[in-house]
Structures are given as structure tokens and as C-alpha cells.
Structure 1
């Protein structure tokens, strides 16, 4: 099923599809379809064979994992304009995680066989996917550093800083936390109670509520010093680009 032109245009504007020739993009999307998901709906499950590469049109999707006799957790969030689980499709391996809608969401599903075929023929697309996968690797390393090196409040501060779209130090910024607080706690490897305590502690560093699901950072430089210490060294990964 070919995607409607307006949806194809959404993909054309996002990495890793932005530089594809129109004919190549048409081949990639010829058999793609859109999945509409209610909050809590499962897109695929851990251990299933990867049949699709996914692109978020709207909403938020969480990659979730579970262990026997232990409560599951959220590994990462993906929002509109981002591509996810390409590695499983490229390697023809099962999914390492499940994908769950954290809000109402629409996701484009591109057949893995078509994705691999275009990837093998088009060097521009291959290079774009290298960039996306390299960025995902850096996100993973940064998350491991947070989990191993930072207490809960500093971990939350680092997360807020990464997602704050504000290039000017010292300026106040407001950001929306679109995922449920329980999902955010799982993503940061905290209990919901620990997350609440971390937000209370961050009030001392200029963080306050902004509406129902927003957070205001009064001073980015001040919060950065708290999260990363006196050196105020930010994460090596840049803010997440669309598609990665």
C-alpha cells in the first residue's frame, strides 16, 4: 500500500530519508503502511522476528523490556520524526525489546526486506543510516554513563538538559514531558516515588512545574553545573536530531 502524498512528504523531510531521490523514496514506501495505536497498545514484542523498520509520525513510542519475576522497564522513547529498530531489520535478528505506545501514536511500518534492498543499492541512504545508528550508539553509551555514574536527581537533570531545546546558556527554557511520569521513571531506572523526590530536589536548582506536563528550567548553566559537576561538561552526544 502506497502512503498518501502528505505522509510521504513527512518522511521526505526527516532523516534518514531527506536526501533520497524521489524514485528511491517511492520504492522504499511502496509497501509501507501506517499503524494507528492507542495508548498502551503494543506494536511488536521482544523476541519476534523483525519484519519492519518503523518511523513515528505522531505521538510517542517506548521501547520496553521485561525479565522473568521482575517488573518491566522502558529503555528509550521515540517521538515524531524518529526512526527506530533499524538494526534488527538490517541484521535479520529478533527484536531485543517490545514497542509500546505511550500516547496516541501513528507509526509508518516499512517492510524490512524492502528497507534492506534499498539500503544495499543506495549509498546516500546507507550513509544516512550509518549516521542514525551511530547516534543511537552514542545515546546508549550516554544512558549507561548516567545509570552507572549519576545519582537519581543528577540523572534527571541530565535528561532534562539533553531534551531542552535552548542553545543560549543562562536563559530560562520550558519543555514538555509528553510521556507519562511512570514511563519517565522507568526510562531513568527509578521508581515513581524516586522521580518525585528528584523533581523536588531540582527545585533548588531552578527547575519548576510549568502547566500539567511541562517543566521550566530557570537557568541552564546552573542546572548543568549540578548535573555534570564543577567542570559543567555536557554529554558528548548532540541533541537528538529528527530521525535519529
Structure 2
């Protein structure tokens, strides 16, 4: 039994892993090691050397970057069953962002050396990793478009749906999001006050229920309508 086997059911919830050929699934699981991080621990920092591919199987990872003024820009919360870290696999360049555990988090890591050996032996697998990266690129373009064109309220509604649906990776839609309003505001480049007001409006309409550090989606269809208002 490999270290990844206890998490296989979680892995197959992800659309990317589902679509992989069986041989690549087995190779990834066979090479994977379990990493457990306490809340707040940094996995890697911007500028670090490549260290492999990761999948979140429990908890969440905060992907961010700190500017010269010391302000942190939160880019995404990576939750199960999302994979990340594939950019460095293609170009061999240093890490582009910081990654911290958001609460106690369990990861599967496929280290860089066995990953490269796998691809050398099976170059046909490159296409599967390219599909993983192209999916992230499409999300990035969508987020940039929303920042440029959408008012704050529909932008917030779209991001909630995106997170609930695992950025298009999860085969299920989560009802409860463990997402503090401060983090949501940071992801959307909105003030805390604006974010709170929009969430309160959605709660008053019966679309959401707010709690300390969390957001419960009560009516996904109406939230989708709000995202396209």
C-alpha cells in the first residue's frame, strides 16, 4: 500500500485525476508521500527551488505573495482535491508565490526527482500535466476579466461559486465555505466594509447565511443569478 492509497477516494473526486490514464494515476500514487502541516506553516516561499507537485487532501493551502510594502495579496485558497505546483515542472524556475497551511492541512507530495523521471520514461504524460496548467490559466484569465469589468457584488458572488465548486475541479459543490470575510475581501481587492455589506445583502435575500469565519450557501441558483446580475 502506498502513502496515497488512504486518500484515493478524495483524489478521484477531482476532475483532473479522474480523467488521467490508469497508469498515470498509479504512478502518482506510488510516488506520493504524505505531508502534514500545522496551521500557519509555510510549505514553500516565492523564489524557492521546485520541489514537486502537491494535492490537498485535507484542510487548505493559502496561496499568496507579499509586496515590498509588507502587504499580503491573497490569490487563492486551495482545497481538496486540488493539485498545485505544476508551473515549476514545466520551466524549472523558482516558485512564483508563497504557500501556507490554512489550518491543519494534509498534502500528497510527488517530489520533483521521481516526477521528472516519470515524465522522462513516459513523455506522453506531459499532455495531462499541460491540461492541469491550462485549466489554471483559464481561471486566471476569468478572474482578471472580472476584476476589470464586473461591479463588486457580482464579482463576489462569482468568486463564492468558484470556491464552492473547487475552481471547477471538484465534482461536487460545497454548501459551507470556511472563509473569513477578510480573506474573501483580499482575494477580490475589496475593502472589508464593502465585502461585509454585499454579504449582508445576500443574507437578507436568503441566499447565504453568515457565521463567524464561514459562509453557508442556502440557494445556489439564486447566488448564480446574483453572479450574472
* TM-score in terms of structure 1 length: 0.76
2:153 equivalent in structure 1 = 153
Q: What's the counterpart of residue 91 of structure 1?
A: 91
SS in 2 for 1:3: coil
Alpha-carbon deviation of 1:47? 0.8
| Alignment RMSD | 2.9
Higher mean alpha-carbon deviation, 9-18 vs 40-49, is at: 9-18
In 1, Cα distance between the equivalents of 2:14 and 2:204?
A: 38
**8 Å Cα contact 1:35-1:106 kept in structure 2:** yes
> Counterparts in 2 of 1:20-169, with a 5 A limit?
20-21=21-22, 25-122=25-122, 125-164=125-164
Q: For structure 2, which runs of at least 5 residues remain unmatched after alignment? A: 166-172
Q: Give the match for residue 168 of structure 1.
A: none
Give distance in 2, aligned partners of 1:201 and 1:14. 32
TM-score, with length taken from structure 2: 0.81
Distance 1:53 1:174 in 2: 25
Deviation at 1:57, TM superposition (A): 1.2
The 3 A distance-change label for structure 1 pair 128 and 13 is farther
- Measured in 2, the distance between the counterparts of 1:9 and 1:219 equals 25
Distance (whole Å) between structure 2 residues aligned to residue 80 and residue 13 of structure 1:
9
For 2:144 and 2:104, locate their aligned partners in 1 and report how far apart those are by CA, in whole Å.
29
SS of equivalent to 2:107 = strand
Query: d(CA) in 1 for partners of 2:158 and 2:89?
Result: 31
Closer, same or farther: CA 98–219 of 1 in aligned 2, 3 Å: closer
Q: Given the superposition, is the C-alpha separation of residues 125 and 9 from structure 1 closer, same or farther in structure 2, using an over 3 Å criterion?
A: farther
Aligned to 2:168: none
Instruction: Tell me the CA shift for residue 83 of structure 1.
Output: 0.4
SS class of match (2:71): strand
Contact 1:50 1:112 (C-alpha < 8 Å) held by counterparts: yes
Q: 1:174 to 1:15 in 2, by over 3 A?
A: closer
Q: Which residue of 2 aligns with 1:214?
A: 215
**Uncovered stretches (5+) of structure 1, i.e. residues with no partner:** 166-172, 230-244
Structure 2: distance between partners of 1:67 and 1:104: 26
Query: Deviation of residue 180 (structure 1)?
Result: 3.0
* Most deviating of 4-13 and 195-204: 4-13
Deviation at 1:16, TM superposition (A): 4.1
State the SS of the aligned residue for 1:154.
helix
Secondary structure of 1:140 counterpart: helix
For residue 69 of structure 1, give the secondary structure of its aligned residue in structure 2.
coil
The residue matched to 2:65 in structure 1 has which SS?
A: strand
Deviation at 1:225, TM superposition (A): 4.1
